[in-house]
Amino acid sequence: MNKPLVKTHDYILKRNSQIKRNISGWAVMSPGIMLFAFFVWIPLLSALIMSFTKTVGFQIEGFVWLDNFKEIFADLDFQRAFQNTFSYLAWSLLIGFVIPIVIGLLLSETIHFKGLFRIGIYMPSAIAGLTIAILFSFLFDPSSTGFLNNVLKWLGFAPLSWLEDPDLVIPLIVVTMTWRGAGATALIYLSAFQQINTNYYEAARIDGANAWQRITNITLPSIIPTLSVLFVLQVISVMQVFFEPFVMTNGGGADRSSLSLLLLAYQYAFRDGRADLSSATTLILFLIILALSLIYFTLVGALKKRGYKV
Amino acid sequence: MNNKFALFCTLPLLISLASCGEKDERIRVAIGMWPETQQTQDVAMFNIWKMRFETDNPEYQIVAQPYQYDQTTVAANAMSGTLPTIFQTYFTEPTMLIKNRYIREVTDVVKELDYYDDMEPSMRSTLEDSEGLLYGVPRDGYGFGVLMNLKTLNYYGLIEGDYTKHEYELYDDQNNPLYPTTYQQLLELGAALTEVSGESVNGTIFYSANRQGGWLLSNLSWAFGAQLQVQQNGNWRGNLASEELVNTLLYLQELKASGALPQDKNVFTYNDWYNYIGSRVGFVFAGNDVIQNAVTQAQIDRRDLAFIPMPEGPEGQYSLYGGTPFVFARNASDAQVRGALKFLEYMGRSPKLTEVSKLAMVEGKETSKTKNEPILPSIRPWTNQLYNSYADELDEQYVNINMEYFKDFYNTIDDIKHQEEPYFAQEMYDLLDQAVLDSLRNPYRSGEEIMNQLVTLNSQFNRYFN
């Protein structure tokens, strides 16, 4: 009878000391948890609930289950925004993914004024995104007083419609985003390039490899882990494009040529007072990003299994 | 030690109890149209009105809460209860504010103060919901017209006169207008201006984004005979796919093809007009309530401005008309609303003509005069004859624009006024923006192509009615 009592006593003491230890841990964590709960989890949960309800303003009136989703799928604006968001993604991978790698490579090859170039390249990232969007709106002004149209005129070319051209608007917005973000990304690539063992390059040179062969056979394979992380971050970031089309095209353009899903969610909520449709749109966007991320991680996992260094 | 500790612990309690005694028991009324701090002359005037009001109504405390209405933040302000008791909004907003319950209804209090029957009926209807409940009071009215830069038009020889003396001839010997009175004449004037200026100045701009294209197009379409919403078997439906609306868009395309509109840019919003009227276009479509921006933003001499009625189309002459409203926070109590409405009298903005309201009206004009602002007549929001006669008297005394160039607008507005379409107007404008932009981009579209687009837009629009 005594033995178990001693055991229980030890157990209680141990548990009490664990609790004591944990209390201090929880006390340290609690402000962070509360902030997270208040600013992230509660809004996330509210949005999830709202997407299945009918709202008046931001107040829930009752559950409508999938009606909001049916409504947005029937909305031509949603269909257009859906297409546009993937168009942003495609252009961003074409322009925005490649350019930082090229800049990073050029920087790594630079011998003189390296610090100056690094600062110069990073400078746009230090400017507020909104300022850049407004600045590029002036550059891309389609009127005769627009900066680029004046350059074209001076060079003897016909003016362009720039942001008013439905075929050009998304690539131009992606150019703006790239101009702002490429420098910071290029520095990450530069850091990755500098970690490559220089012996590989020396060996390649001895074997007679030219610059292109060195890049494709040594440089790029060596930075695949960095490439893959920045790739997934870029996908997530571009899928959430918002303020550039908002500022540069008067809220997505009258013809919706630059309307993105997040911008549409904003318009549903704050222009139309439809928090329910807005929440449903953001939930769909979340699911798309989740699906893309899952595809990425599945591919990476499969490649790792086959022995690739990813 | 213990006593000291006890005293230390009870000190905050004692302080809070002492401060309870100083708590202001008065009813707090936050005024959203209170001017910003840097507008010192206006602030001084409001402070005088506050002092008078609080002296006459000691149960109230007037609190300055300058509030610039913003569509993107109004929801958060409304939900968190931080909107001022009374604030001013744009004439396009009440429907959305009412639908989302961001503002409160004030029918009984307005009736109790005898403001209700003095309200201009068509303005009142724009502030009521489908059940006839009232959600605000009008500050003043607005109507669409054409604002002309007479100096530009005279400089290029399209209006007689002498811009160096700010003198222009807008009427012939028989007092017939020499300015454009039909849409066709407006088009010809615009095209001529573009031509004679060597394309350095265009006739006008046509709004095409932010729902303002549809907004302006709806005004034009009435003159072409369009009925954008109709009743079928007792139910309202969209009627965008009509020959009349096709004709309106064909007119817009003609306006573009003739050169009256800029050829290199198609996307314009309502905020663009004061960036263009200074030197880039001869005239713009605008509401009378924003004309002062031509002076304050575009730096045009007020003597070089004319504001003429919307032109006549094949099926009539119409001017979009409504009221700029004061509305009330959803959490405001009846007593607060009563105080806010009474304060309007001390601002000279209620229908009550009392000594205090007369004084405020004069002070308002004097302040504008001191600031050298253009003083224009307003469209009266109230039907009280005494009030309106006194306002007319003050207009005669203080208006500092040449009324010869404005009189036809004010004389005709009552005959040609047309209210916004009754249902889902903003959603309709949003859809019509697309038709406007496509017409501006491709001014050679056929009527059939336009009709095909309108059929699609109409079916989208009718989803709202379903």
Tokens at residue A255, please? Answer: 């013809």
Q: Do residue A253 and residue B265 have CB atoms under 8 angstroms apart? A: no
Q: Please state, in angstroms and as integers, the Cα–Cα distance from residue A130 to each residue in A180, A243, B326, following that order.
A: 11, 7, 32
Alpha-carbon span B93 to B105, nearest angstrom: 15
Euclidean distance between the first and the last CA atom of chain B, given in angstroms as a whole number: 77
B304 interface with A at CB cutoff 8 Å: no
From the number of C-beta atoms within 10 Å of its C-beta (0-12, 13-18, 19+), residue B13 rates as exposed
A-B C-beta contacts closer than 8 Å: 68
Tens digits of per-residue pLDDT, A48-64? 999 999 999 888 999 99
| Nearest Cα residue to A172 out of A248, A282, A110, A119 | A248
Whether the Cβ atoms of residue A168 and residue A188 lie closer than 8 Å to each other:
no
| Structure confidence at residue A3 as a pLDDT band (50, 70, 90) | low
Nearest Cα neighbor of B275 from A225, A145, A268, A281 is A145
pLDDT, residue B254, reads 98
CA distance A137 to A173: 9
b/e for B267-291, b at 16 or more Cβ within 10 A?
bbbbebbbebbeebbbbbbbbbbbb
| Contact (Cβ atoms closer than 8 angstroms) between residue A226 and residue A189 | yes
Q: What is the ipTM of this complex?
A: 0.81
Strands B312-313 and B316-317: antiparallel
Q: How far is CA A285 from CA A142, A272, B71, in A?
A: 32, 19, 24
Contact B100 A56 (CB under 8 A): yes
Helices A169-194, A224-239: crossing angle, 10 deg rounding:
150
pLDDT of chain B along its 466 residues, tens only?
455 555 555 555 555 555 555 567 899 999 999 999 999 999 999 999 999 999 999 999 999 999 999 877 898 899 899 999 999 998 778 888 998 899 999 999 999 999 999 999 988 988 999 899 999 999 988 899 999 999 999 999 999 999 999 999 999 999 999 999 999 999 999 999 999 999 999 999 999 998 899 999 999 999 999 999 999 888 999 999 999 999 999 999 999 999 999 999 999 999 999 999 999 999 999 999 889 899 989 999 999 999 999 999 999 999 999 878 999 999 999 999 999 999 999 999 999 999 999 999 999 999 999 988 889 998 899 999 999 999 999 999 999 999 999 999 999 999 999 998 988 888 899 999 999 999 999 999 999 999 999 999 999 999 888 7
Tokens of B402: 């040449």
Which residues of chain B lie closer than 8 angstroms to A271, CB-CB? 71
CB atoms near residue B195 (< 10 Å): 14
Q: Is A206 exposed, middle or buried (0-12, 13-18, 19+ CB in 10 A)?
A: exposed
CA distances from A111 to A106, A201, B11, B170 (A): 10, 17, 69, 72
In Å, the largest CA–CA distance within chain B is: 100
- Here the tokens at position B384 are 């009280």
CB atoms within 10 A of CB B402: 18
Q: Classify each residue of B154-191 as buried b or exposed e, where b means 16 or more C-beta atoms within 10 Å of its C-beta.
A: bbbebbebebeebebebeeeeeeeebbbebeebbbbbb
The alpha-helical segments, DSSP class H, found in B84-231 are 94-99, 107-112, 121-126, 150-155, 183-196, 212-223
Nearest by CB to B99, which of A143, A249, A273? Answer: A273
Is A254–B437 a contact, with Cβ atoms under 8 angstroms apart?
yes
**What mean pLDDT is predicted for residues A131-135?**
95
Q: Rounded to an integer, what distance in angstroms lies between the CA atom of residue B30 and that of residue B52?
A: 16
Query: Do the Cβ atoms of B436 and A254 come within 8 Å?
Result: yes
Q: CA nearest B114: which of B280, B338, B370, B393? A: B338
- Whole-angstrom CA distances from A232 to A176, A191, A223, A238, B425 are 20, 19, 15, 10, 42
CB of B84 closer than 8 Å to CB of B65: yes
Strand partners, B128: B134
Q: What residues have CB less than 8 Å from A107, skipping those under 6 apart?
A: A114, A117, A118, A121, A186, A187, A190
Q: Beta strands A53-56 and B167-169: pairing type?
A: unpaired
> Which residues in chain B have their CB less than 8 angstroms from residue A142's CB?
264-267
Q: How far is B158 from chain A (nearest CA, A)?
A: 24
* CA atoms within 13 A of residue A181's CA, in its CB half-sphere: 21
The answer to whether residues B318 and B145 touch, using CB atoms and an 8 Å cutoff, is no
Q: What is the mean pLDDT of residues A159-167?
A: 92
Total-model pTM: 0.85
Asked if A250 lies within 8 A of B78 by C-beta distance, the reply is no
Q: Which two tokens stand for residue B130?
A: 């489908």
User: Residue B309 in 3-state DSSP?
Assistant: strand
Residue B94 near chain A (CB below 8 Å): no
Percent of chain A with pLDDT over 90: 75
CA atoms within 13 A on the CB side of B103: 31
CATH of A67-305, one of 1.10.150.120, 3.80.10.10, 1.20.58.220, 1.10.3720.10: 1.10.3720.10
In contact, B27 and B339? CB cutoff 8 Å: yes
Distance (Å) of CA A170 to CA A89, A90, B89: 10, 10, 34
Question: What is the reported pLDDT for B96?
Answer: 85
Are B153 and B282 in contact, with CB atoms under 8 Å apart?
A: yes
Query: In this complex, is the C-beta atom of B442 within 8 Å of any C-beta atom belonging to chain A?
Result: no
| Per-residue model confidence (pLDDT) at position B1 | 44
Q: Is B27 left (phi over 0), alpha (psi -120 to 50) or beta?
A: beta
The answer to whether B416 and B435 have CB atoms below 8 angstroms apart is no
B436 interaction partners in chain A (CB closer than 8 Å):
254
* H or E element at residue B140: strand B136-149
Q: Break chain A into its structural domains and give their ranges.
A: 9-50, 67-305
Tell which B residues from 95 to 154 touch A, by Cβ distance under 8 Å.
96, 99-102
Contact B426/B212 with Cβ under 8 angstroms?
no
Q: Which of A74, A255, A273 sits opposite B96 (nearest CB)?
A: A273
Residue A86 is inside which H or E element, if any? helix A76-91
